[in-house]
Structure 1
Amino acid sequence: MTLEAFLTTVYVPLRLRGRSPESVRLLRHAVTQFSRWLGRPALLELRPTVAPELVPQSVPRAFTADELVRLADSARYAWGWVGPIPAGTFFRALIAVGLETGERINAILKTPRHCWQRPTLTVPASIRKGRRQERVYELSPEASDLVDAVTRHEGPTVFWWVASGTALRKRWKTITRRAGLGDGRDVQFHALRRSTASHLAAAGLDATAYLGHSTDRITRRSYLDPRVVDSRRPKAWQAIPRVFRPDPEPPAQSA
């Protein structure tokens, strides 16, 4: 049995059932790269042929301006406390920092407390994806007020979350549901990063550079929501000749 046949008829149906197309693509890519690595020192004379996985491309989902307002309002009503901080304050600050920096949730939660010097938030390279570049952000006065409030504790990080990641995601789903946004994968924390990119692009700014992507292709394919980016641009239908006219009103019939 060839490696391609094994992947297609055995491994994918049995081990990757229910996984996303992207997960299957990554597996095939890993197998291909491993065979190439073996071929370099001539440990493998014949390299296996593995067909690339076709992954359907969905349209990125970001939050519109109206949805962001609803999200922030919903976070205000988060119940309970996160350590000594009211949950409503904690989650509104999390939204503000996530939106204004575009940082991933893991980096935000790991940012050391001493990295906040109003209005500047420094995210060390060691906690960012890739671990190569430190980023410094200047936050708005409103976001700065929220971060000041959320750092009134003795913990080691700006956002002192000691519960599990599962607990955090459950709290977030409650917030998105209350905001009328549902609780699917497209409205999880990463939607804030997509929102940052989309609103920056809509304003004519360089979303690729702001997010630290290596190419525009990554940003366009996975981050820019056309509902947001194209909201200030002429619509396609406005440039196409209008060939349909409203039907004239039928003549009134006499009694």
Structure 2
Amino acid sequence: MKDRTEPTIAELNRWTVGLDGELKQRDVKAAGGQNKVLGSVLSDFETILGRPMEVCDINPDVAIMLILKMKRDGARQRGMRARYDWFVGRAETAFRLGWLPRQDFDDVKELFAKSAGFGTASPLPAANVGSAAGTIANISLSELLEIHYIPSRLIGKSQNTLRLYRNTIRKLNRWAGRDFMVADLNVQTCARYIGDLMASGTLSPHTIEKEATQLRALWNFAYRKRMHTDAPEIAPVSCPDRIPDAWTRDEMVALMKACESAKGMIGKIEASKFWPALVSLIYDCGERISAVMQIRRDDIDSQGWVTVRGEYRKGKTRDKRYKLRPETVARINAIKVIGEPLILPWPMSEHYLWPKFGEVLKAAGLPSNRRTKFHKIRRTCASDFEAAGGNATKLLDHDNRRTTMRYLDPRVIREVQPADIVPGIGQEVAANE
């Protein structure tokens, strides 16, 4: 709701959704059981991630992380159910307050209430932890990830990386009809799972290969740590290369007009000022949306140069500096919020950024799908820069030209086509007559 205070866990705890579906204030002191669950959630969250919990952390991924901790600690089903109910209730309240998008917690139930998954007529049989070559660790893939792999391999990686790994394991659990075990990592089972993913027709080959890559990484880690007796054997998934596409000049103009006409507020910033600043900033530097959303006020100097810190960027390897256009600097200055260090503060769940931008695209009369969001602006920046004589490989900070070519729209960079230089059928004869 627009007239409510800033989203905080404490403020959220003051509200509930009644049986009639209406928001109601509640007596916090009287909500003893809920307060106890809240206290344990906040404590476990800070123990694991080393920071206080925020409203945007009320999502299925965090719920799974915290319920898995309870499961490892030997909690009863009743306790895990209470924590699940807390997440579902708080997420619905946050949605009614306008702080978060509506979220689906169905997958979380699998942690304490098993259900059959796709692709199998019945659950997988129990995993065999013994073999002629030795003994395989009797732990689930979730436990391997949370207890061993994350501390050893993923410290410092983005929350999105952790989310993708957890999502892959959730789908494996659903497919298996039980916890997928380290001992289930074998050629036959993995091939069957990937085959079912491909047969379902709901995922792109690139998404399936991403999941296969994560399985290889986890299996290889288990093998190297002597928690598995066999080296990983998962065949790569064939992924066709897509032709890069960028927005045309007219489409970018239409997009900016839609940004400037957007209604409502984004936190304390008018949407009609937030979106133009965001689109301009991405177009000026060609950075990923994940990096752009972390840029701070003190990263821009008085000359209009922005430094995108290495810790904001994919790979977290090095800083990059870009010169901003004067109109971009003006748009950024127009959304300054006193006391807010970020240039583009987003008060809602980070996942909500994409569907909200999709609404702007639709208002501009442009397609809104997974290939037309923020990364298409990055491709547009790279293509326009290359067409103007710049080096897009250096701009995008790629290690090789082959990667850059996946970003360059051949229509924009004016790749020579047969129709440009080869005479048409009969044209050569006609020219000689």
Aligned residue number for residue 266 of structure 2: 82
Aligned residue number for residue 179 of structure 1: 364
Q: Does 1:6 align with 2:189?
A: yes
Equivalent residue of 2:253, what SS?
helix
Aligned residue number for residue 229 of structure 1: 413
Deviations 1:9-49 (A, max 9, x none): 24541699423211221233344445555666888775354
Q: Does 1:146 align with 2:328?
A: no
CA contact (8 A) 2:255 2:361 kept: yes
The one-letter amino acid paired with 1:180 is: G
Q: Does 1:67 align with 2:247?
A: no
Say which one has the larger Rg: 2
Q: How many residues align?
A: 242
Larger displacement relative to structure 2 (35-44 or 139-148): 35-44
Deviations 1:32-91 (A, max 9, x none): 445555666888775354322101111122212221111111111000122332211110
Of the candidates 210, 219, 239, which is equivalent to residue 55 of structure 1?
A: 239
Equivalent residue of 1:195, what SS?
helix
CA contact (8 A) 2:285 2:381 kept: yes
State the Cα distance separating 1:102 from its structure 2 match: 0.8
Aligned residue number for residue 392 of structure 2: 207
Give unpaired runs (5+ residues) of structure 1. Answer: 246-255
Aligned residue number for residue 163 of structure 1: 348
The one-letter amino acid paired with 1:147 is: I
Of the candidates 310, 320, 334, which is equivalent to residue 135 of structure 1?
A: 320
CA distance in structure 1 between the aligned counterparts of 2:369 and 2:342, rounded to whole angstroms: 28
State the Cα distance separating 1:177 from its structure 2 match: 1.0
Q: Does 1:108 align with 2:314?
A: no
Q: Does 1:239 align with 2:421?
A: yes
Q: Does 1:124 align with 2:309?
A: yes
CA contact (8 A) 2:197 2:208 kept: no
Change beyond 3 A, Cα 1:211–1:179: same
Aligned residue number for residue 19 of structure 2: none
State the Cα distance separating 1:244 from its structure 2 match: 4.2
CA distance in structure 1 between the aligned counterparts of 2:332 and 2:232, rounded to whole angstroms: 53
Aligned residue number for residue 401 of structure 2: 216
Equivalent residue of 2:399, what SS?
coil
Query: Which runs of at least 4 in structure 1 moved beyond 4 Å after TM superposition?
Result: 14-17, 33-46
Larger displacement relative to structure 2 (149-158 or 35-44): 35-44
Deviations 1:200-249 (A, max 9, x none): 1112211111111111111112x11112222xx5542021122246xxxx
Q: Does 1:95 align with 2:313?
A: no
CA distance in structure 2 between the aligned counterparts of 1:41 and 1:164, rounded to whole angstroms: 36
The one-letter amino acid paired with 2:293 is: L
Q: Which has the higher contact order (CA 8 A, sep 6+)?
A: 1
CA contact (8 A) 2:246 2:376 kept: yes
CA contact (8 A) 1:98 1:104 kept: yes
Deviations 1:146-205 (A, max 9, x none): 111122433120112212224322321111112121111111111111111111111221
Q: Does 1:195 align with 2:380?
A: yes
Equivalent residue of 2:411, what SS?
helix
Larger displacement relative to structure 2 (176-185 or 146-155): 146-155
The one-letter amino acid paired with 1:236 is: P
Identity level (%): 29
TM-score (norm 2): 0.51
CA distance in structure 2 between the aligned counterparts of 1:113 and 1:93, rounded to whole angstroms: 13
CA contact (8 A) 1:16 1:24 kept: no
